[in-house]
Amino acid sequence: MKNTEIFNGKHILIIGLAKSGLAAAKLLHKLGATIVVNDQKPLDENAQALELQQVGIEVICGGHPLEILDHQYDLVVKNPGIPYSNPLIQKALEKGISVVTELEIASLLSEAEIIAITGSNGKTTTTTLIYEMLKDSKRIPLVAGNIGTVACEVAENAKETNVLVTEVSSFQLMGTELFHPKIAVFLNLFDAHLDYHGTRHEYGLAKAKIFANLTEEDFCVVNEDDAEVMKLSENVKGKKVTFSVQKKVENGAFIEDNQVYFQNEQIISVDKIVLPGKHNLENILAAICAAKLAGAKTKQIVSVLTTFAGVKHRTQYVTTIMDRKFYNDSKATNMLATKVAVSAFHQPVILLAGGLDRGNEFDELIPTLKKVKGVVLFGETASKLQHAAQKAGLGLIKVVNNVTEAVKVAYELSDTGDVILLSPACASWDQFKTFEDRGEAFIEAVNNL
């Protein structure tokens, strides 16, 4: 680690545990900071808080009392999911205390250069592709962020001989001040998390913080087919490298005559790429740009693209039962993700959708619903999705209680040759802790058939 002395003797409040809060608390405590941890869950139900208490860290659980800030803190590290409207966060900001996420801590401490990937959709697939493409390069890639291990936990052991490939969300980026990737990738921008950010404009600005500290020695990889992303990257200091599935670009990745190019180098024929769907071509082009800039070899890139079939819970093939193919796309937590998932299939699709209501309607999904054979709906948003399906003119609409029931009903409604696709278009938090839990419930239900 570098800059380890900057936290020694500091008084730091960590608000919200989960994986990121736990990792940040342990690391900062190790670096000599005086830590107080505050978490909503009561202490007797909070294994993570009890773990920290045992190593001498003060924990305050069961709510977010404002009195915590009667003491002076040098820094607040908040869980990314806690909104800035939280009264404790508001009070910290009013007192002039910096409020950051653990991503900021990782950036300050990492000896390894960082490749950061953000966007409304495709982050995990692109992050995984870059990681795999760099496996044969001079620097050993490490993967971190939303995709798995907490960034500051990976940064703790990262060396100059590594490169840190990190998936970053708008929630994390909002809590950064000095976060400085060597290569910043911005894939796309669509309506998502508006319950957190308030407006699409604010959401875009949060994403664009990935560029805030780039220098002329750094790289900015952006989607030339997305006008908003291009606008948000207009004044970036880093060297701009673009990708496009629609046209040839001068400095980046593109497709011409069914061949994938990076700058003037022909990489691979589109027909040889295993990962399905047009949306994944965008992810692939972005990954090629970042990987090439970081020193990946073309041979390794080709090897990845001819073998990599997708990430778990992202249009993941599960199995075939009686000539019905089952796909798990539980990561589709917004309408765009569901639209691109459905568009990846030429077969008749029975769509399983529903989940947490974020206040939006689903009219934007109507053109996609017109293309599916039927829908099986569940969760808080079931009635809204049912209304959208009726407006789309669908005759096959079923409403059930949960994902497990949805699998059984979809199978009963299906015919040979159909695709049964879980692509919820909603967050999972009404019935599950994470989208991964939702996907596992789907897989279990399919296997139980």
* Predicted confidence (pLDDT) at residue 7 exceeds the cutoff of 90: yes
Q: Please tell me whether 310 is known to bind a ligand.
A: no
Give the mean model confidence (pLDDT) for residues 251-264: 96
Portion of the chain with pLDDT greater than 70, in percent: 99
pLDDT in the model for residue 191:
67
* Domain 103-305, architecture per CATH: 3-Layer(aba) Sandwich (3.40)
pLDDT in the model for residue 196:
72
pLDDT in the model for residue 409:
98
All residues at 6 or more sequence positions from 290 whose CB lies less than 8 Å from its CB, including other chains: 115, 117, 126, 130, 183, 185, 219, 221
Cβ atoms of residues 325 and 168 within 8 Å: no
Q: Please tell me whether 416 is known to bind a ligand.
A: no
Q: Which CATH class is domain 316-448?
A: alpha beta
- Tell me the DSSP string of 218-283: SEEEEETT-HHHHHHTTT--SEEEEEESSS--SSEEEEETTEEEETTEEEEEGGG--S-SHHHHHH
Q: Please tell me whether 128 is known to bind a ligand.
A: no
* Predicted confidence (pLDDT) at residue 369 exceeds the cutoff of 70: yes
pLDDT in the model for residue 194:
65
Mean pLDDT of the chain: 94
Q: Please tell me whether 120 is known to bind a ligand.
A: yes
Q: Please tell me whether 96 is known to bind a ligand.
A: no
Report the predicted TM-score, pTM, of the whole model to 2 decimal places: 0.80
Q: Please tell me whether 238 is known to bind a ligand.
A: no
Cβ atoms of residues 11 and 74 within 8 Å: yes
Domain boundaries, the chain: 9-100, 103-305, 316-448
Give the mean model confidence (pLDDT) for residues 50-54: 95
Cβ atoms of residues 67 and 87 within 8 Å: no
Portion of the chain with pLDDT greater than 90, in percent: 86
* Predicted confidence (pLDDT) at residue 17 exceeds the cutoff of 70: yes
pLDDT in the model for residue 315:
84
Whole-angstrom CA distances from 253 to 84, 231, 242, 262, 274 are 37, 19, 7, 4, 18
pLDDT in the model for residue 336:
85
pLDDT in the model for residue 29:
97
pLDDT in the model for residue 102:
95
pLDDT in the model for residue 192:
66
Q: Which CATH class is domain 9-100?
A: alpha beta
Q: Please tell me whether 123 is known to bind a ligand.
A: yes
Output the CA angle 110-114-330, nearest 5 degrees: 110
Report d(CA 329, CA 407) in Å as an integer.
13
Per-residue model confidence as pLDDT tens digits over 344-358: 888 999 999 999 977
* Predicted confidence (pLDDT) at residue 428 exceeds the cutoff of 90: yes
SS3 at position 366: helix
